[in-house]
Structure 1
Amino acid sequence: MRSSRKTGSSKLVKKWNKEEILQQVIQHGQISRADIAKQTQLSRPCVSALVEEMIQDGLLQEVGMGDSRGGRKPILLEYNYQAYAIVGAVFEGSALEMAVADLKGEFLARYRKRLAQPADGERVIEDLAAGLDRLLAESSLPRDRLLGIGVGLPGVTQRGSGTVSFAPSTGWMGSPIRQTIEERLEVPVIIDNDVNMMTLGESVRGVGVGYSNVVYIYVGTGIGSGIILDGQLYRGSRDAAGEIGYMLIGPVHSRRDGAYGVFETHYSVPGVKAQAKAFLSDLQEGSSIIETLIGQARQDNQEAARLLDDVYRHWAYAMANIVSVLNPELLILSGEMVHIDEKGVKQIREWLTEWVPVVPRMEKARLGEEAGLIGAVHSVLEAFPSTKLLDK
């Protein structure tokens, strides 16, 4: 229980009292005006007046009658999670994933678009704007009820300055992306690295729930990781933590400005496909290269078996390096890694047991393409907590 504050201007005290009321409603789920007064030690007339204002503003709603305690049944109040909406968006490789969600983070509508290749930064932002219009129309939401949009972007993303300092796939090098997107969409924007968004999603809704030290490893068009230490997403001194695609794993080459890292050049999805083309001429667009190699290996294709073993081994090298430095409780395997079969997972565990003294729990990601969207939505909820809605 928190006592009401007595100091400050009347306007500020009113806001503080509304915050206390809102927190009580969110905490209890459903609560009466009388119980709010008891919990906050505010007078019943004060609670009634402020609740009425918050109902008019759309933040609270009456949801029915509670149990009687000897008099009239009280009217119960509930937080209106549909008062505002949030949009999450994630760019990865050749696809844009978007979703609009309520203040609980529950999706109301989804949108997906294949992007032209090679990706063009300006075109990508126009695709984002078109996707937002589509989502708002589909969910019948006016733009002024949109709280903000969280955007997961490939490359080294500076949340503070709103820039992307290094993104080979889009050509964004030091560009003020957050400002550009905000001006185009006319809504507040939170940006972060796409894999960080996926990591956040798996941590709040997926296989990472309950773990404080987690490394999320993603293999797709590139290779990256998200790092959670002591319950906090770790970004490093210049927001470049987790860029494991630049590990010197695989044949080392002289990297030109704007090029991919050594590890992801050889062992990302495009890198593995490039190696597989030497003996597989009919790779299907959009199919899993790992599933294809597993299928071929089971049919005694020795080249496929050798490449599969090589990929697993090099992915395991990265895991061993990560484990040696960070000692996480959990490794989450995502992207193309979710297609590793039971035999492959067992082999990787055996290698790690041989190479490092402490092997963490290893799980495949549970949320799939939704992970990044959930993380993007959650990033906006963190930036705009419920009490901030009182300022709108």
Structure 2
Amino acid sequence: MLVERRTFAKADPSMVRAINQRSVIDAIQHHGVLSRSQVSRVVGLSKPTVSQVFTDLVSAGLIREAGSTQGNQGPKAVLYEVNNEAAWVVGIDVGRRWVRAALADLSGTIVARHDERVRLRSNQTLLDQIGAITRTVMREKGVGWGQVNQVTVGSPGVVDPARGLVMLAANLPGWERQGIVEEIRAQFETNVDIENDVNLAALGELWKGYGRQCDNFAYLSVGTGVGLGLVIDGRLHRGARGLAGEIGYLPIALDGAAESGPPWRGWFASPAVADAIARLGTARGVERPMTLRAVFSLARKGDPLAREVVETEARLLARAVSTVAAVVDPEVVVLGGGVGHNGDLLMHPIETALRSLTPLSIQVVNSMLGTDAVLHGAVGSAVSAAWDRLLAEPPAVSAPSPGTAAPSA
């Protein structure tokens, strides 16, 4: 199950063996079951090479017999299938409102899942919740830590493992403090990767969404925060320091809306939207601050002031989309996140604003995966890391930012 295409350093025998093993695994996963001779024809390897690969994979428990060919002419050939239960992986999505966890086999098939409201009474409460929800999905399938090869955690912010920090994660109180990376890893008794949630959403879209149709796209997530995942030539683009896609810091705002506060507040905190929401709340007699989610609910009921707020938000998003399109020229911009999933209200005003902002032809679509994009990306990334480890595959030339694993399968 390839999620990203990769290039490798100059081959050595161990790397050639790993590549051959992966080729055989991919062929059998794609076709369901194959004999040795069929694999030889499909992957273009010699029969002696395939025979050795099969011996290694059977010995490792990664493939197993699955019957034999039918027919009366000639000897029957043994068929093989991938043993997708040779190991298990866990994908976790840690958001501002929800924690989601899924247990999956080596094909990425989710066999157990659990969603919970985030508990933010303290930083330790959230850490404990992440560990507990993982054990819940493992217990449902009867899987122990010795069978779990990889856990991948999707989190707001950018991971700096050298300092043990998750930076730019203000939406999760206490998540940016020293040592949080090791404290997250301490919740699990296996290999752990921590990745930016929007990057994982983009990988989820690459695996199961619009990425199946195009190799170049941007995933724009709008919720409690805003972020962008970039897939270029079938690969996730992280940038030099893992900060690619942090478009919340683009210095753009609507006409007549001056930036206020520190420069790092960015355009999403623009007073154009905040003031419009405040006016709507005052007009509707709402004492506490109104959320964008509540605004969308009112807009869907036809409230004219709420629709005005939605159109203001759409114009801001259109500015971000047109800026990204002018720089990276994606085939499509996928709109996701808690706010972004309101495509029935946002899409038309975004498209209208784009026509007035840019001569470029930009296709904007709603995510196929909805709120599950991050979770699917975490599962896909975990499966990739697990297969890399099981096949002892050497690292790719284009390495990710330090401390993060490059999802590739």
Shared fold (TM-score greater than 0.5)? yes
Among 81, 84, 90, the residue aligned to 1:81: 84
CA distance in 1, matches of 2:109, 2:161: 24
Give 2:262's aligned residue.
255
Distance change (3 Å), C-alpha of 1:270 and 1:74: farther
Distance change (3 Å), C-alpha of 1:268 and 1:183: farther
Q: Are positions 1:280 and 2:284 aligned together?
A: yes
Q: How does 1:138-157 map to 2 (within 5 A)?
A: 138-157=140-159
Give 1:5's aligned residue.
none
CA distance in 1, matches of 2:182, 2:273: 32
Q: How does 1:293-332 map to 2 (within 5 A)?
A: 293-296=298-301, 298=302, 301-332=303-334
Number of matched pairs: 373
Three-state SS of the structure 2 residue aligned to 1:169 is: coil
Give 2:246's aligned residue.
243
Measured after TM superposition, the shift of residue 123 of structure 1 is 2.3
CA distance in 1, matches of 2:24, 2:318: 51
Q: Are positions 1:211 and 2:218 aligned together?
A: no
Distance change (3 Å), C-alpha of 1:74 and 1:166: same
Measured after TM superposition, the shift of residue 51 of structure 1 is 4.7
Measured after TM superposition, the shift of residue 357 of structure 1 is 1.9
Unaligned ranges ≥5, structure 1: 1-7
CA distance in 1, matches of 2:246, 2:378: 19
Query: In structure 1, what residue type is equivalent to 2:390?
Result: L
Distance change (3 Å), C-alpha of 1:367 and 1:57: same
Q: How does 1:101-250 map to 2 (within 5 A)?
A: 101-117=104-120, 120-158=122-160, 163-170=165-172, 171-173=174-176, 175-248=178-251, 249=253
Measured after TM superposition, the shift of residue 226 of structure 1 is 1.0
Is the contact between residue 32 and residue 75 of structure 1 (CA under 8 Å) also seen in structure 2?
yes
Is the contact between residue 218 and residue 228 of structure 2 (CA under 8 Å) also seen in structure 1?
yes
Distance change (3 Å), C-alpha of 1:312 and 1:117: same
Measured against aligned partners, the alpha-carbon deviations of 1:63-89 in whole angstroms (never above 9, x if no partner) come to 122134723322211111121111111
Is the contact between residue 219 and residue 337 of structure 1 (CA under 8 Å) also seen in structure 2?
yes
Is the contact between residue 95 and residue 155 of structure 2 (CA under 8 Å) also seen in structure 1?
yes
Measured after TM superposition, the shift of residue 366 of structure 1 is 1.1
Query: In structure 2, what residue type is equivalent to 1:294?
Result: A
Give 2:63's aligned residue.
60
Distance change (3 Å), C-alpha of 1:316 and 1:379: same
Measured after TM superposition, the shift of residue 390 of structure 1 is 4.5
Query: In structure 1, what residue type is equivalent to 2:95?
Result: E
Distance change (3 Å), C-alpha of 1:140 and 1:311: same
Measured after TM superposition, the shift of residue 108 of structure 1 is 0.6
Is the contact between residue 277 and residue 292 of structure 2 (CA under 8 Å) also seen in structure 1?
no
Query: In structure 2, what residue type is equivalent to 1:278?
Result: T
Query: In structure 1, what residue type is equivalent to 2:330?
Result: P
Query: In structure 2, what residue type is equivalent to 1:61?
Result: R
Query: In structure 2, what residue type is equivalent to 1:31?
Result: L
Query: In structure 2, what residue type is equivalent to 1:280?
Result: R
Give 1:292's aligned residue.
297
Three-state SS of the structure 1 residue aligned to 2:334 is: strand
Three-state SS of the structure 1 residue aligned to 2:370 is: coil
Give 1:374's aligned residue.
376
CA distance in 2, matches of 1:31, 1:78: 7
CA distance in 2, matches of 1:103, 1:268: 47
CA distance in 1, matches of 2:248, 2:226: 5
Measured against aligned partners, the alpha-carbon deviations of 1:22-63 in whole angstroms (never above 9, x if no partner) come to 56644653222455578644559x94x875674464312221
Measured after TM superposition, the shift of residue 252 of structure 1 is 2.0
CA distance in 2, matches of 1:268, 1:80: 55
Normalising by the residue count of structure 2, what TM-score does the alignment of the two structures yield?
A: 0.78
Three-state SS of the structure 2 residue aligned to 1:294 is: helix
Q: Over the residues paired in the alignment, what is the CA RMSD in angstroms?
A: 3.6
Query: In structure 1, what residue type is equivalent to 2:140?
Result: E
CA distance in 2, matches of 1:69, 1:246: 69
Measured against aligned partners, the alpha-carbon deviations of 1:96-142 in whole angstroms (never above 9, x if no partner) come to 11111111111111111111246x43322211110111011001112
CA distance in 1, matches of 2:273, 2:125: 24
CA distance in 2, matches of 1:291, 1:110: 29
Is the contact between residue 95 and residue 113 of structure 1 (CA under 8 Å) also seen in structure 2?
yes
CA distance in 2, matches of 1:270, 1:261: 13
CA distance in 2, matches of 1:270, 1:198: 27
Unaligned ranges ≥5, structure 2: 1-11, 394-409
